[in-house]
Amino acid sequence: MKKHWKLASWNVNGVRAIEKKGFFDWFQDGKYDIVGLQETKAHVEQLSQELVHPEGYESYWSSAIRKGYSGTAVYTKESPIFGETSFGDPFLDGEGRIVLLEYEPFYLFNVYFPNGGSGAERLAFKLEFYDRFFSLIESYRKKKPIIFCGDVNTAHEEIDLTHPKQNEHSSGFLEIERKWIDKLVQKGYIDTFRMFEKGGEQYSWWDMKTRARDRNVGWRIDYFFISKELEKYVKNAWIETTVLGSDHAPVGLELSC
């Protein structure tokens, strides 16, 4: 029997900060089955009991070795078959960037991909992370379909940011970064938002320093990708642009499978 799933993904830019900015109002109103968070910037022992054990949900956390940096978490109503945050690879494990949960119809990867904007060394790390993550999901895909969500830190096409020409040489819109998303698509991974929305001026991140959100000068860098086997089950995908509290907006996905 098919189950209806409602999922959300949000780079919260600090889970302790977002808790004070109405996070649980959004969380409870959304009636989500699964919520993936990125850039949590915390270890579990630093968090309130409500953040770790919200009523009706299990939570899974992956934290960077360095405190106050990176980190991911997933809240889930349905107990997964298993959860994993360590993959035996220092590139994938050291900064708390991945939570994997297995459910009957799919594997869910919640991921905070590296930012490559702080220099050549960090860009190289980002590209290596991309390649290793791709190999990881391809290995799991042999067993069942894949959903992965999170802050990919790259806008795919010119339509996905306000000023593409001015950012051709900026990390987040470099050709080499965009080609990795091209590879995903060629291998049968689908950007679910583009199944429903073909137009521009649809963004998920805005620079806070320049108050870019007020003018909707942004980038779409937060995604739900699915492997093609799940395409027929997708019902909707969206960006919650009116939800405040972070420099990112939540993104969502609904499917029945």
| Domain CATH number, residue 49 | 3.60.10.10
Mean pLDDT within 17-42 = 95
Residue from 75, 112, 189, 223 carrying the catalytic annotation: 112
Distance from C-alpha of 117 to C-alpha of 169, rounded to nearest angstrom? 10
Q: Is the pLDDT of residue 91 over 90?
A: no
Mean pLDDT within 94-114 = 97
| Count: domains in the chain | 1
Residue from 151, 160, 191, 222 carrying the catalytic annotation: 151
The reply to whether the predicted model has a pTM over 0.95 is: yes
User: What pLDDT was estimated at residue 30?
Assistant: 83
- HSE toward the beta carbon, residue 163, CA cutoff 13 A: 11
1: confidence class by pLDDT, cuts 50, 70, 90: confident
Known binding residue 207? Answer is no
Concerning whether 29 is annotated as a catalytic residue, the answer is no
75 near 48, Cβ under 8 Å? no
CA distances from 186 to 31, 107, 174, 190 (A): 33, 20, 19, 9
Known binding residue 169? Answer is no
Concerning whether 32 is annotated as a catalytic residue, the answer is no
CA distances from 19 to 51, 88, 175, 244 (A): 8, 32, 36, 12
Concerning whether 203 is annotated as a catalytic residue, the answer is no
Known binding residue 231? Answer is no
Query: What domain range is 141 assigned to?
Result: 4-256
